[in-house]
Structures are given as structure tokens and as C-alpha cells.
Chain A
Amino acid sequence: MPNSVAAATPRPLSLWRRVTDWGATGFAILAAILVLVPLLAIFVYLVVKGFGSINWAFLTQTPKPPGEVGGGMANGIVGTGLILAVASVIGVPLGIGSGIYLAEYGRNRFGDVIRFTADVLNGVPSIVIGITVYSLIVVQQKHFSAFSGGVALGIMMIPTVARATEEMLLMVPNVIREAAYGLGIPRWRTTLSITLRTASAGVITGCMLAFARVAGETAPLLFTAFGNQFWNLKLNQPTAALSLQVFTYAISPYDDWHKQAWAGALILILLIVGAVAAVRIVTARGRLKGA
């Protein structure tokens, strides 16, 4: 049966097809490498430049007066944590809340307006948000504060969290909502305990993206949190932040400060990676087989 044999043995690919195959694969690999290079370069450079300056004093002490060697950024690390906590308390619930509205109730004109506003807000330069918060909160209260810095970063988180939440909720099939309604579960309960829960992995990713993005922001903190050479744990006082301190130290004339700026940048990155990883580990713990 010569026919079936012929069908079973594939004809060798033409030269042109092999060339385009290699070409396309090669291009994809090259693109992947090109994306990784700057990322790795930044990280390696930060480690090389900054790792040497990280020591116990750096992690536990406040800055020394200008010109003196030593001291650390402990207040900046704590301040960044404080500001990000405020930002998350504002950005995550408001973002998730508006995302829920957009996905579950906002299939209308008003929803379109909010969607458009969120996209515009996403594109507003961070320094503009800083100025706005400065005039709305700092000027009114007559002092810089961790709170105002957190508000500025929180506002920046809202559109990212909202749109991510919306997209993830829309991916939950409608039959899941119907199943819940069919059990006599009210709509608000269905949204919170069924739909949002089904989409939770994606919503958490959206929150982490927003968090990581604002964690390193400097511009909106310049005239809100302002920075501080000393310890501060009060929300209504000027507060140090790693990003601000890196900025101040990097443009200073002192060699020791330059080194500390590198170390501060490295710590900032590690803190972000650590926070994202921690959330991932905690949320993955409850995952079920086959979910």
C-alpha cells in the first residue's frame, strides 16, 4: 500500500520554511534576553555598588550630620513601611471597591466615565499627584506628614487596582454567579464571597503590581512626606522614606553618602521583592488541589 506509506512519512520541510522557523525562534529568544539584560544589569550593579555599605549600623541607625561618616537609613526603612501602609489602606479597598462596581454594576454610562477617569488617573505624572496632595492636605494642615505621602501613593494605586480587579472579575464565568443566586445567596454576598473569591489570585497580583509601582516613587513624596533625618512614627509628622533618602544622598557631595544611596536603593528593591514574595506565600497556602 504505497499510498499510506507516503502519507505516514512527512515530506522534508522546504529550505525557506526551515530558515523562517529558525529566524522566528531566534528572534523570540533574542527579545527575551534583551528584556532580561537591563533587569539583571540593574540588580547586579545595585548589589555590587550597594552591598558593601549594608551593615548593622546602616540598618539600625539614623543618618549622621552632613560630612560625618557612618549612620544609616533605619528611619527611612521604617518611614517607607509607614507610608506604604497608609497608601495600601487607601488604595487597595478603594481600588477593589471601584473594580467591583465596574465589573458587576458598571455596564453603563456612569461606568464608562469611571473607567475613563481611572485610565487618565493612571497616566497622570506622579509629581502632579504630589502637588495636588500638597495643596489639599499639606497646605491645609500646615505641615508635611507621612499621612499625606501615603495619600499621594494611595491615589496612584487606585486606578491600577481598580482596572485589574475589574478585568479579573469579568473573567469569572457567569454560570458561577448563577450557581450562587440559585442557592438563594444575595447578590452582594455572591459578589464578595463567590465572584471576588474566584478571582482573588488575579486581584492580589493587581494589588502587588500597584504596591510595587508606588513603593519606589520619589516625586510625590518630595512635598508630602518631605523626609526626616530623625526617627518618626507619627502619621502627622514629616517622615523619612528610602526613595527620598536615596535621592538626597545621591545628589550630595559626600562620598560616604553616595555609597549609602546605593545601599538604600538595594534595600528598597529587596523590600519590594520581599513584600511581594511574602504575600504570594501567604495567599498560596490555602490553595486546593485542582483549584
Chain B
Amino acid sequence: MGVGIEVRSLKAWYGKNESLHGIDMTVPANHVTAVIGPSGCGKSTFVRCLNRMHETIPEAYAEGSVKVGEMDVYGDGSDPVEVRRRIGMVFQKPNPFPTMSIFDNVAAGLKLNGFRNRKQLNELVERSLTLAALWDEVKDHLHKKSGASLSGGQQQRLCIARALAVEPEVLLMDEPASALDPISTSKIEELIFQLKQHYTVVIVTHNMQQAARVAELTGFFLMGNLIEYDKTEKIFTTPADKRTEDYVTGRFG
């Protein structure tokens, strides 16, 4: 089951450059929440702060409080590796491990964390690939083909399966369909819709129709601030803030 996320006065820097200016946001469990906004508004930085991926960039750091379920992400003694194990991430460009088979790609997160039970591993790989709607397409060459041999859309679903295999509670998606064609995109969107039964999903997207299709809640970011956060329908029909209205009606951004 998914868990909720509580973000309080989250600030993020790249060196001396403050790119998030204190974000407060409450993401409910087992919902899909979209984060929209123009390029450079901090939406990617925001989700990368949720699982402490932000700080893997040299000189980047974050401050504030993020609680994912009972876990205090930025608390004392919090281990970023443990945080990332519980908060999965799917990236903009599909990035399967090129020298690994399809099976090993999905199993990587478990295997490299010391998971050895072969039978359970097989089950988890099958379950994750099924959940990512890829099982039928790849089940005949799990061990023979490299993850890089798949098409772009399949690679992205492989990356989703890989993230699901470690059984996270939250799944962060950073523009997961922006590098894909419309058919692959609709498959990923369908998948996101299914995933919320088991996970809390936060998705960054450039595509406002996509946000409207998949998300129950939408947050609008602008220049490092969360301008408005409400039900998706409200954001796209009767936004409270003028800047949100300008953005969703295509007047800027």
C-alpha cells in the first residue's frame, strides 16, 4: 500500500542558487498527484528532493522536512540509500542497464541489495513485469535479450518494472512519457492509473493533457514556488490564481 507525503518548507539549492523557495505540500496516499509548470520552475528538483536524489548532483543540497508515511526523509540519521529503496523513481529518458538482461534489469535492485532467494526473485520479476504491462512482450527472452534491445516505450515500462520490483511505497515519475510516442505514452498513462491501487504516485509532466488524464491532484510550480495545489479538475477549469490560469490556458510557459 502507498503512504502519504508531507512536505514542509522544503528549500533546495544548486551551489549558491536557490531553486526551491520553501514548498509546503501534502500528497495523499494511493493517489496520483501531478506536478506541472514551465521549464526551470523547479518541478523536477522538487520530486528529486523527495527521495534525496537531488543531493547526488555535486554541490546540490536541500533543507526542510519531508515525511513519507512514518519516515522522516531529512531527519537525523536518515540514510539516503534506505530512502531511495522505499521511494522508487522513473526518469525522463528510459535508462535500462545496457549490459544486463531484461530479467537482471528488473532484479537489479533486489540482487544488488543482497536478495538471494532465486524462487522469490523469479516471482517478483514476473509480478513487476506484469504490473508494468510488459510481461507478455518479453517473457520468452527474459535472459537472452539486453534491456537496451527493447523499444523506447518498452524500455520505459522496463524501468517502471525495475522500480516496482524493490516494492517501494511511493513512485516518483519525472516526465516518464516525454521521450515516447503517443501509443507508448497512452500505455504508460494506463499503467499509472493502475499503479495507484498499490502506490502513491507523483508525476512531473510538461504535458497538461497528461496531468488532466492521470492525476486526481495537480500542483502548479512557478520559479521555485508552489503557486496552486488543488484537485486537477479545479486547476484546469477554475484556478484560484491568475498565474495558474495563464499557464493552463497557454498564455505563457
Bitwise, A145-184 to B at CB < 8 A (1) or not (0) is 0000000000000000000000000000101111111111
Q: Which residues of B contact A186 (CB under 8 A)?
A: 81
Size of the chain B interface, CB-CB below 8 angstroms: 36
What count of chain A residues pass the 8 Å CB interface test? 25
With an 8 A cutoff between CB atoms, is A205 at the interface? no
Residue in contact with B148 in the complex, picked from A185, A194, A291, CB distance below 8 Å: A291
- B159 and chain A: residue at smallest CB distance: A179
Are the C-beta atoms of A182 and B146 separated by less than 8 Å? no
Asked if A185 and B113 sit within 8 Å, CB to CB, the answer is yes
Compute how far the CA of A16 lies from the CA of B51 in the bound complex, rounded to whole angstroms. 63
Bound Cα distance from A193 to B98, whole angstroms: 12
Residues of chain B contacted by A176 (CB below 8 angstroms): 95, 97-98
Which of A107, A184, A194, A291 has the most CB atoms of chain B within a 10 A radius of its CB? A184
Which residue, A179, A194, A197, has most C-beta atoms of chain B within 10 A? A179
The SS class assigned to the B binding surface is mixed
Residue A23 interfacial (CB < 8 Å)? no
Q: Given the known A-B contacts A182-B89, A288-B145, are A198 and B97 also in contact in the complex, defined by CB atoms under 8 Å?
A: yes
Q: Is the CB of A288 within 8 A of B99?
A: yes
Contact status B149-A291, CB under 8 Å: yes
Q: Which of A168-226 contact B (CB under 8 A)?
A: 173, 175-186, 189-190, 193-194, 197-198, 200
Interface string of A275-291 (1 = CB under 8 A from B): 00000000000001111
A177 CA / B51 CA spacing, docked (Å): 15
B52 (CB) vs chain A CBs: closest residue: A181
Q: Which 9 A-B pairs have the closest CB atoms?
A: A290-B149, A184-B85, A183-B109, A291-B146, A182-B89, A288-B146, A175-B95, A184-B84, A290-B146
Chosen A-B contacts, 5 in total, with CB atoms closer than 8 Å, are A179-B96, A180-B112, A182-B88, A183-B85, A200-B99
